[in-house]
Amino acid sequence: MHSDTSLAQLRIVLVEPAGPLNIGSAARVMKNFGLSQLMLVNPQCDPYSDDARQMAVHAYDLIESSQIVATLPEALVGCQRAIATTARSRDLQTPLESPEVALPWVLESSPTAVIFGPEDRGLNNDEMLQAQRFIKIPTRPPYESLNLAQAVAICCYELARVGQRPQGIEHVPLTSPPTTSAAATLDQLDGYYHHLESILLKIGYLYPHTASSRMRKFRQLGHRAALSNQDVAMLRGILRQIDWAIHQGIDSKAP
């Protein structure tokens, strides 16, 4: 069976939640299914309000122990894997999967995260690409958008169900089999992508007005490659050498 430690170390990440009732409901359903790590990214309401307490019932301790951070990358520090949720189709060249297909993968490592977007807009493309896989809960048109707490409930249920499954149940892999090196954490990858962007801007491969869209493709490429921490260290070493060579060239041209 999947390790209880993996379930205990899985983070439920709510990005800019606007409603204390939803935060309280999410905490309650997390406790129902044995999850305990709640991360709030730039909440747009008071997560400790009476409304949140009322909906959390006996799970208010999860809100009290929750971590509040300013940005999504901060919420993912140390995570090796993350899944982002969406209510609509995306043009991100990465398939949308159902919870039962994708969620087993996130429990094969720890710590990991499942990310939920704001109630009014969901996750934008840049936020989605902080994760390696994407899930869409199958609902029926014309009203396909779920309430935030309902989406958290469905995913928590599926995660708990996966936790009771024997390992070896087939699911769709993200990439080729992993290497023997430890997988790069999402914050290591984020640092690499920012470093790569700065170098590509310097050498003129990227332009400021198109850099964001082009970097999304590099993130997708990196996610598909399942880079290890050694891979990231090597790639950043190359970037540092390129940066050094750029400055050497500039210095040699100086009068």
Fold of 186-253: Helicase, Ruva Protein; domain 3 (1.10.8)
What pLDDT, on a 0 to 100 scale, did the predictor assign at position 237? Answer: 94
Nearest alpha-carbon partner for 47 in 61, 32, 30: 61
Task: Tell me which H or E stretch contains 115.
Answer: strand 112-116
Q: What is the pTM of this model?
A: 0.82
Measured CA angle at 151 (ends 27, 69), to 5 deg: 50
Q: Are both 4-163 and 186-253 of the same fold?
A: no
Domain ranges of the chain: 4-163, 186-253
Distance, CA of 236 to CA of 92 (rounded, Å): 25
What pLDDT, on a 0 to 100 scale, did the predictor assign at position 253? Answer: 59
Q: Is residue 40 within 8 Å of residue 17, measured between CB atoms?
A: yes
CA distances (Å), origin 216, targets 94, 131, 184, 238, 253: 11, 12, 18, 21, 34
What pLDDT, on a 0 to 100 scale, did the predictor assign at position 62? Answer: 97
What pLDDT, on a 0 to 100 scale, did the predictor assign at position 41? Answer: 98
What pLDDT, on a 0 to 100 scale, did the predictor assign at position 88? Answer: 77
Print pLDDT tens along the chain (255 aa). 455 667 889 999 999 999 999 999 999 999 999 999 999 999 999 999 999 999 999 999 999 999 999 999 999 999 999 999 998 777 777 789 999 999 999 999 889 999 999 999 999 989 999 999 999 999 888 888 899 999 999 999 999 988 676 554 444 444 444 445 788 999 999 999 999 999 999 999 999 998 998 998 899 898 888 899 899 999 999 999 999 998 887 665 555
What pLDDT, on a 0 to 100 scale, did the predictor assign at position 250? Answer: 61
CA distances (Å), origin 104, targets 2, 83, 134: 9, 11, 13
What pLDDT, on a 0 to 100 scale, did the predictor assign at position 175? Answer: 47
What pLDDT, on a 0 to 100 scale, did the predictor assign at position 174? Answer: 47
> Which residues 6+ apart lie within 8 Å of 108 measured at CB?
2, 6, 81
Tell me whether the omega of the peptide bond preceding residue 142 falls within 30 degrees of 0, making it cis. Answer: yes
The DSSP result for 90-104, as a single string, is --SSS-EE-HHHHHH
Q: Looking at domain 4-163, which CATH architecture does it have?
A: 3-Layer(aba) Sandwich (3.40)
What pLDDT, on a 0 to 100 scale, did the predictor assign at position 127? Answer: 94
Q: Is residue 77 within 8 Å of residue 187, measured between CB atoms?
A: yes
